[in-house]
Structure 1
Amino acid sequence: MKKLIFYSAMLFILAVVAYKLFFYFDRKSEQEAILKNEAVTRLSDEELAKIEEGDFILRRGFGFFSDYISKELNSGTIDVTHAGIIIKHNDSLYVVHSLSSDVTNIDGLQAQPIGDFLKYSFPNKIIITRAKNCDKDMGAKISQLAQKYLAMHIPFDHKGNFDDDEKFFCTEMIWKILEKDLHCVSLPTEAEARKKFFFSMSPMYDTKYFDIKINQYDIENK
């Protein structure tokens, strides 16, 4: 019995060490890619001028974990891996988004100047979407709700429980605002279909729910 407990403890420790090492090397890989691409402009002045508060920004991130998301949670040629909500503060654009403490110093919701957010994106792999029938008033409401949750310091949803509103992964916050707060979209309700929907990036650029304001993948594929 003692041997069983010992071996179980050792396996647990090894699993934790492997987990930590994975994200250590993932962050290292990400930082190297950021430095390599730091001189590349991600959004032109013309593209930035198209953005309004309450829009959603999708990016294809760097690192091993992003590589997995890009392949498994998308469809077609698009391979975005992360999403956030654009807000305005003192006439400057910021992105409110949720990240795990495994990849950042803050666990959960945080706000970044859009320029800093874009540093973590592959060049020419950015999409900006806007909710269907979204006018300036609705955009302002989306922005206000994002800032409300930011002020609440909502932590990251490590377990992926998409119907638990106490924690958010990146797209979970967006769908919470659109489905439950503003009631402007109808999402799947059956358990398996809902799970498949939430554990995918594809709905975030589905024209059933969004107007595509900027799609750099269109430029890439011309």
Structure 2
Amino acid sequence: MTIFRTFLIAIAMLTLCCCKSGNKERSILPDKASIKDGDIVLRKGTGFTSHAVAFADKSSDYSHCGIVMIKDGKPMVIHAVPDEPDFDGDKDRVKMEPLEKFFSSIRASKGRIMRFEDADIAYKSACSAEELFQRGILFDHDYNDRDTTEMYCSELVEHAFSKHGVELTKGIRHDISLPGMKFRHVIFPSDFIRGRKLKTVCTFDEDGYYMESKKHKR
């Protein structure tokens, strides 16, 4: 599994370098997108690992997710992510970073913003996610949602809401078998769509396409 992870990292870094050399980095997040505390954000990634997730989840190409917390008026996203170090020696961990960076064109080609109807629970769930960031929780490379000492992206989101009595995915889980790795009981980012506990606020892509949900238009 270590060899396979090394291969994934090498391909991801090669993909990232190619993207950087050919395109200027920008955010694909539309300025008009509505953002609130506790919103769930999904993205289609551009790296090899993202393609592996999309390959495993054949019904969706969303490969990563996080939860929004607005700090000093600025939307931040809390997410557990591998292979995106902020400095030399940085560990794979739960991060909090600007939403624009989460939707960087180098890392995302498509996005979706989703919202839980109870704003109070959504805010409390975002606070629970921030606590995991403050504790320095590491990324879970075993994708084991039954062990919360480490977490992967969709596990973090599900766990944050479950702390306040909400099961966003309604227990949807998957067994994954890919070359060099096998995982059981995995939550896909797209399971937050399948669970039907969240309403889509908007979807968008790198080409400027933007669609706002009618239920969230003002």
Which deviates further from its counterpart, 62-71 or 23-32? 23-32
Q: Distance in 1 between matches of 2:36 and 2:132?
A: 19
Task: Provide the residue aligned with 2:72 in structure 1.
Answer: 90
Richer in helix (by share): 1
Distance 1:134 1:150, change over 3 A: same
Q: Distance in 1 between matches of 2:7 and 2:25?
A: 29
Tell me by how many angstroms 1:209 deviates: 1.7
Richer in strand (by share): 2
Give unmatched runs, 5+ long, in structure 2.
Answer: 176-184, 212-218
Give matches, 1:36-185, under 5 Å: 36-38=22-24, 40-47=26-33, 50-75=34-59, 78-100=60-82, 102-104=83-85, 105-119=90-104, 120-123=106-109, 125-131=110-116, 133-135=117-119, 137-179=120-162, 181-185=163-167
Residue in structure 1 matching 2:9, options 8, 17, 23: 23
Deviations 1:178-197 (A, max 9, x none): 22x011227566xxx64456
Which deviates further from its counterpart, 144-153 or 25-34? 25-34
Q: Distance in 2 between matches of 1:112 and 1:84?
A: 10
Give matches, 1:202-213, under 5 Å: 202-206=190-194, 208-213=196-201
Tell me by how many angstroms 1:85 deviates: 0.8
Bigger radius of gyration among the two? 1
- Which amino acid in the other structure matches residue 141 of structure 2? H
- Which amino acid in the other structure matches residue 88 of structure 1? I
Distance 1:74 1:94, change over 3 A: farther
- Which amino acid in the other structure matches residue 57 of structure 1? V
Distance 1:55 1:19, change over 3 A: closer
Tell me by how many angstroms 1:59 deviates: 0.6
Measured on the aligned residues, the alpha-carbon RMSD in Å equals 2.6
* Count of aligned pairs: 194
Query: TM-score, length-normalised on structure 2?
Result: 0.77
**Any idea what SS the aligned residue of 2:114 has?**
strand
